[in-house]
Amino acid sequence: MSDSLEARLEGFLLSRLPGARAVKMISLERSTEGFSQETFSFLVEIHENGGASRRAFVAKRAPVAGLLEPYDLEPEFRVLNALSDDPLPSPPTPWFEPDPAVLERPFYVMERLPGQVPIPAPKPDGSGPLDPATRAALTPQVIAALARLHAIDWRKRDLAFLGAPRKGNDAALRELARWRERIEATRLPVPAVMQETLGWLRRHAPATDETTLVHGDFRLGNWLLEETPGGVRLSGVLDWEMVHLGDPLEDVAWCTSLLWRAGSPLASGLVPPSEFYALYAQASGRAVDPERLRFYELLSLVKMSAIMLTGIRAFRDGRTPDLRMAIFDHQLPFLMAGLAVLRGFLPAPAE
């Protein structure tokens, strides 16, 4: 396309903002931290009859190749749009554009919330990414947000289009099938411990009568934190690409998984997993059933393995030049070791 990205975004906003006479791009940056969708953060000046104002937005665009193929941004947009006025700190998301003629590929636009995203990695001294004061302030907010997410009436929010699982073990089996299919689609060798785990999960899929909205990627690295005079504030829950209807303990297991402990024994760098479970049970009013939790703990590593294998396949096929996907080859053994520990084939490392 001959028009610049800036000009196309200006034209898009001008067509969507009632009363706007002109839209001028002040700044535009592309995020390089995410592995999935292309993310653009921009600030615009909006000229109306009453004067001019500035507003900040984020655009999410489907990538050419990525970790969650095939891409369909509309379900994610519909969830975020439905939650735009909910107390849950999700970004208000007013617009979706499926026409590739506008920005080459489908995209949606959300309001940019204040704050920064802490990366789930240890500091140079080996300590976790969050200091004690931040952990103390953030933990109850994270727990409250997760409990609120699972309390949302998805029927009243018109989110039944996501497809509710049947009562019993359908929620567990559906998610297992989703990620198994992604693994098989890569046509890459499946390690023996992964094959054994997939079989165990199929035989031990737990039953639940409860269906909630499930974020799918609720964890350290997807939380927006704002420093305020009163202390740190959870200003946003981001990255809703894997949202679906299912078992709420799937989110609990993912958030407390060893994947996001950042070199510490703390769930998402916050508190010990057992404390996280107790706090969530208190806030949500639902018990953290050990059988269901164990299933989703194992599924968390299967899920991440499927994501990494998809990235490896995309890189090997030449559909992406992102070298971060190439190094997944060296990270998969860590996931296989984690599966072996959870299955009892290897002793757990000392904390």
Amino acid found at 248: P
117: in domain? no
Predicted local confidence at residue 62, as pLDDT = 87
**Are the C-beta atoms of residues 152 and 212 closer than 8 Å to each other?**
yes
**Are the C-beta atoms of residues 194 and 243 closer than 8 Å to each other?**
no
**Are the C-beta atoms of residues 292 and 268 closer than 8 Å to each other?**
no
Question: In total, how many domains does the chain have?
Answer: 2
Amino acid found at 235: S
Amino acid found at 135: R
Q: Are residues 182 and 308 in the same domain?
A: yes
Q: How far is 4 from 73, CA to CA, in rounded Å?
A: 23
Predicted local confidence at residue 351, as pLDDT = 56
**Are the C-beta atoms of residues 91 and 112 closer than 8 Å to each other?**
yes
Sole residue written with tokens 């789930």:
120
Which CATH number do you get for residue 306? 3.90.1200.10
Predicted local confidence at residue 181, as pLDDT = 96
The DSSP H or E segment spanning 302 is helix 290-316
Predicted local confidence at residue 2, as pLDDT = 45
Q: Are residues 172 and 290 in the same domain?
A: yes
Q: Are residues 154 and 195 in the same domain?
A: yes
pLDDT in tens, 319-331: 888 788 888 989 9
Q: Are residues 257 and 196 in the same domain?
A: yes
- Short-list 143, 152, 149, 151, CA closest to 282: 143
Q: How far is 103 from 258, CA to CA, in rounded Å?
A: 38
- Short-list 280, 268, 163, CA closest to 221: 268
Predicted local confidence at residue 64, as pLDDT = 74
Distances 28 to 57, 90, 115, 225 between C-alpha atoms, Å:
10, 22, 17, 21
Q: Are residues 180 and 312 in the same domain?
A: yes
The whole domain housing 47 covers 5-111
Q: Are residues 92 and 175 in the same domain?
A: no
Predicted local confidence at residue 1, as pLDDT = 41
Predicted local confidence at residue 338, as pLDDT = 95
Predicted local confidence at residue 124, as pLDDT = 86
Predicted local confidence at residue 8, as pLDDT = 95
Intervals of the chain under pLDDT 70: 1-2, 32-35, 65-69, 350-351
The DSSP H or E segment spanning 8 is helix 5-16
349: in domain? no
**Are the C-beta atoms of residues 59 and 73 closer than 8 Å to each other?**
no
Q: Are residues 104 and 204 in the same domain?
A: no
| CA-based R_g, the chain, Å | 21
Distances 56 to 29, 84, 226 between C-alpha atoms, Å:
12, 16, 16
Look up the pTM and report it.
0.94
Which CATH number do you get for residue 91? 3.30.200.20
Q: Are residues 81 and 166 in the same domain?
A: no
311: in domain? yes
